[in-house]
Amino acid sequence: MLNLGRTSLGKAAGQRRRLPRPVRNAIGVLVSLGLTFLGLLMVTFLIGRVVPIDPVLAVVGDRASPEVYERVRIELGLDRPLYEQFWIYLSNVVTGDFGQSALTSRPVLEDIARVFPATLELATLGTLIGVLLGVPMGVLAAVRQGRWQDQMVRVLGLFGYSLPIFWLGLVGLLLFYARLGWVSGPGRLDVFYEGMIPTVTGMILVDSLIAGDLDIFRNALGHIVLPASLLGYFSLAYISRMTRSFMLEQLRQEYVTTARVKGVSHGRVIWRHAFANIRVPLITVIALSYAHLLEGSVLTETVFAWPGLGQYLTNSLLKADMNAVLGSTVVVGAVFIGLNMLSDLLYRLLDPRAR
């Protein structure tokens, strides 16, 4: 009896010490996030050591004396063992120190904070275009499977996957800017308007609305509409294709047939039943599309002279500025991790089975 009493008391104490499920889930997410970010830093560090670019030469130049070269090499910690170099790199990144850019002579984090809002503005508008057009088009293609609407959506998606974005950008500039004059040229603003509004978010459309300057807003909109539409078209191709695939799978389910037999209206069957069940996987598709636009708009930014992260990364690669390249890579990886985490949180909100 005494042993049974001790056992029951031990179980009760263990249950009292056990953390609530939300706390355990939060700890698990944080641990997973930390390990993923650590793996990202490790891969980024190894890439920086494997590429055939001497970071010392990027700092001192080709004509530096051997004494200067060796001194800078020691200052950068490149004379130490690899594990010590990784520890120094990890400590610096955790404190927000990505080193100094050899291209701009400024801290890399300061450069990224300056150029990233331009990419964020462009990718966000492109994603909005892709979602607002791609989702209804995908639903329409699934509902009208095999008909001309379905074929049209599939052809548009095929062109979006096949045509090079730099070619579309050049053709768009030639047609809509040079010939028709419907949009403004490369860049984010005309030279006349630069520096006329205070920087709050770094996104000119938002900052111009905050400042109440509609002239600058219209000018910025004229510059961003073409590159954002191109990115939106490629996002549309991916989102519409995946939406169509998800909807076709749901429309074949028995609950859809049952709802139709019961006399539920066609629109209610499509949007309240079938579409409601694809919201969760569709969130992942949209998040991945958004992340790809944030890190994959290099060619678009180059063609349209858009001063964003993609152009900054390209210029850094051409100048062998490895601090800037690695810092930009870490930021892009962190964006992917953050969006995946956001997708998981939205899963739990929209689908009770995932909680």
For the residues of 273-335, what is the DSSP string, one character each? IIGGGGHHHHHHHHHHHHHHHHHS-HHHHHHTT--SHHHHHHHHHHTT-HHHHHHHHHHHHHH
pLDDT at 125: 93
Instruction: Say what the alpha-carbon torsion angle 346, 276, 291, 304 is, to the nearest 10 degrees.
Output: -140
pLDDT at 3: 53
The answer to whether the beta carbons of residues 243 and 157 sit under 8 Å apart is no
End-to-end CA distance of the chain: 40
Backbone angles phi, psi at 107, to 5 degrees: -55, 140
Instruction: Please name which of 184, 207, 187 lies closest in space to residue 196, comparing C-alpha atoms.
Output: 207
pLDDT at 301: 86
pLDDT digits (tens, 9 = 90+) for 199-221: 888 888 998 999 888 999 999 99
Rounded-to-integer distance, Cα 134 and Cα 236, Å: 4
pLDDT at 2: 46
The answer to whether the beta carbons of residues 208 and 214 sit under 8 Å apart is yes
Rounded-to-integer distance, Cα 337 and Cα 343, Å: 10
Rounded-to-integer distance, Cα 131 and Cα 216, Å: 27
- Helix (H) or strand (E) holding 32, with range, is helix 21-50
Rounded-to-integer distance, Cα 177 and Cα 222, Å: 10
pLDDT at 228: 92
pLDDT at 59: 67
> Is the model's pTM score more than 0.75?
yes
Question: Could you say which architecture CATH assigns to the domain 112-354?
Answer: Orthogonal Bundle (1.10)
Query: How is the chain split into domains, by residue range?
Result: 1-37, 112-354
Backbone angles phi, psi at 100, to 5 degrees: -105, 140
pLDDT at 124: 92
Instruction: Please name which of 268, 7, 219, 235 lies closest in space to residue 138, comparing C-alpha atoms.
Output: 235
pLDDT at 52: 66
pLDDT at 351: 64
For the chain, which residues score pLDDT lower than 50? 1-2, 4, 9, 12-13, 15-16
Cβ atoms < 10 Å from Cβ of 309: 28
